Amino acid sequence: MLSDLACRKAKVADKMRKLSDMQGLQLWIFPNGSKLWRFAYRHAGKQKLLSLGRYPDVPILAARAARDKLRLELAEGSDPSRTRKRERFEKSHPDDLFETVAREYLAKLEREGCRASTLKKNRWLADLAKDLWPLSVKDIRPLDVLGVVRKVEKRGRYHTALRLCSFIGGIFRYAIATGRTERDPSHGLSDALTKPKVKHRAAITDPQKVGGLLRAIDGYAGHTTTRLGLKLEALMFPRPIELRMAKWVEFDLAQRVWKIPAARMKKDRDHHVYLATQSVALLLELKELTGRGVGGFILPSVKSVLRPMSENTLNGALRLLGYAEDEMTAHGFRTTASTLLNESNLWKEDAIERQLSHVEEDETRAAYNRGEYWDERVKMMQWWADYLDQLRQQH
Tally the domains of the chain: 3
Q: Which of 84, 120, 138, 266 is catalytic?
A: 266
Do 25 and 153 have their domain in common? no
Give domain status of residue 197, yes or no: no
Global pTM reads 0.54
For residue 141, give every residue at least 6 positions away whose Cβ sits within 8 Å of its Cβ, in sequence order, or none. Answer: 185
Rounded-to-integer distance, Cα 88 and Cα 103, Å: 22
Do 113 and 58 have their domain in common? no
Do 70 and 134 have their domain in common? no
The per-residue pLDDT for range 325-378, each reduced to its tens digit, is 889 999 999 999 999 999 999 999 999 999 998 865 444 444 334 457 899 999
Work out the end-to-end distance of the chain between its first and last CA atoms, rounded to an integer number of angstroms: 106
Do 29 and 67 have their domain in common? yes
Low-confidence residues of the chain: pLDDT under 50: 361-370
pLDDT on residue 365: 41
Q: Which of 64, 271, 334, 377 is catalytic?
A: 334
Rounded-to-integer distance, Cα 3 and Cα 379, Å: 89
Do 259 and 313 have their domain in common? yes
Rounded-to-integer distance, Cα 275 and Cα 246, Å: 14
Rounded-to-integer distance, Cα 171 and Cα 105, Å: 6
pLDDT on residue 91: 65
Give domain status of residue 199, yes or no: no
Buried b (16+ CB within 10 A) or exposed e, 117-155: eeeeebeebbebbeebeeebbeebeeebbbebbbebbee
Catalytic (active site) residue 239: yes
Q: Which of 91, 368, 370, 395 is catalytic?
A: 368
Catalytic (active site) residue 266: yes
User: Helices 374-393 and 224-236 sit at what angle, rounded to 10 degrees?
Assistant: 120
Do 250 and 351 have their domain in common? yes
CB 180 within 8 A of CB 96: yes
pLDDT on residue 274: 96
Do 48 and 103 have their domain in common? no
Q: Strand 17-20's sheet: what is its strand order?
A: 17-20, 25-29, 35-43, 46-54
Q: Which of 35, 64, 271, 331 is catalytic?
A: 331
pLDDT on residue 207: 95
For residue 129, give every residue at least 6 positions away whose Cβ sits within 8 Å of its Cβ, in sequence order, or none. Answer: 98, 102, 148, 164, 167, 168
Rounded-to-integer distance, Cα 12 and Cα 294, Å: 82
Q: Which of 239, 244, 271, 377 is catalytic?
A: 239
DSSP letter, residue 136: B
Give domain status of residue 202, yes or no: no
Rounded-to-integer distance, Cα 314 and Cα 304, Å: 17
Length of the chain: 395
Query: What residues does 252 pair with on adjacent strands?
Result: 257
Catalytic (active site) residue 368: yes
Do 184 and 226 have their domain in common? no
Do 364 and 244 have their domain in common? yes
CB 338 within 8 A of CB 352: yes
Do 252 and 369 have their domain in common? yes
Do 87 and 111 have their domain in common? no
Burial class (CB in 10 A: 0-12, 13-18, 19+), 161: buried
| Domain region containing 258 | 207-393
Q: Which of 348, 358, 365, 379 is catalytic?
A: 358
pLDDT on residue 359: 61
Give domain status of residue 303, yes or no: yes
pLDDT on residue 115: 74
